[in-house]
Amino acid sequence: MSRSELAGRVAVVTGGAGGIGLSICGRLAGAGANVVVGYNSSQEAAQALAHSLPDVPGGHCAMRAPVTDTAGLRALASAVEQRFGACDLLVNCAGTTRFVPHADLDALDDALIDQILATNVRGPFAAIRALLPLLRKSPAALVVNISSIAAVTANGSNVMYCASKAAVDNMTKSLARALAPVVRVISVAPGLVDTDFVRGLDDHWRAEQVERTPLRALALPDQVAGAVIAAATQLTFTTGAVLPVDGGRPLS
């Protein structure tokens, strides 16, 4: 990948200090973009990541991006405009979930449902809404929503998480139509991603997940990041699409 592919472009990544977000930020900076590492509570990790990214003219920074707080997102948009004057790429990577057996409806309480929907569904929409004036000024505006194959398989950490990712993919298509031709909107849908969190789970369970994947491996954060880069640099006539990064898991 050329260091100049995204030179001069400004990318905002919500949840940028997380396991997947970290790789996305690194690949974007490696392609020459100015990266805003968005965070909610992980300020120190986000700042450390911003300082560690490859140098580009104009640099990188960490900014608070509380996706469940509309006023906070408006403040983020204002700060991005003041610092960089533009936003060309928004990656909605912030998300939340908790493991709840699908048959245990009582364990999926209202508070958890509201948290998942507010973060995973309303959050991306609110971030797009807040940054849309800047995106509309870009000659190559792109929004990438990080989804999940749980949207299709209905098999994931809990019932509401699966529903939230199905909503994200539907929203991607609706907004791709509504914001065309100025802003492209794409979902990237990983399978189970081999983050530090997943590596800390039961080894037997992880081995079962690998066996259930036709390519006999879990998705790597860098492979998810590669799909984001492809959407920005190669798939320039694509919008409203869901790009799987899943090793063929839905086939099993």
Under 8 Å between Cβ of 17 and 53: no
Helical H segments across the chain, by residue range: 19-30, 43-52, 70-84, 110-117, 123-135, 150-153, 159-179, 196-199, 203-211, 221-233
Least Cα distance to 12 among 177, 131, 171 occurs for 131
Read off the amino acid at residue 62: A
- Residue 207: phi and psi, rounded to 5, are -65, -35
Question: Distance between CA atoms of 215 and 142, rounded to whole angstroms?
Answer: 30
Whether 161 sits among the annotated catalytic residues: the reply is: yes
- Cβ neighbours of residue 21 under 8 Å, at least 6 residues apart? 13, 14, 15, 37, 91, 93, 94
CA distances from 145 to 18, 31, 112, 115, 241 (A): 15, 19, 21, 18, 11
Q: Say which of 128, 161, 172, 239 is annotated catalytic.
A: 161
- Cβ neighbours of residue 213 under 8 Å, at least 6 residues apart? 191, 192, 246, 247, 248, 249, 252
Q: Any idea which residues carry the catalytic annotation?
A: 161
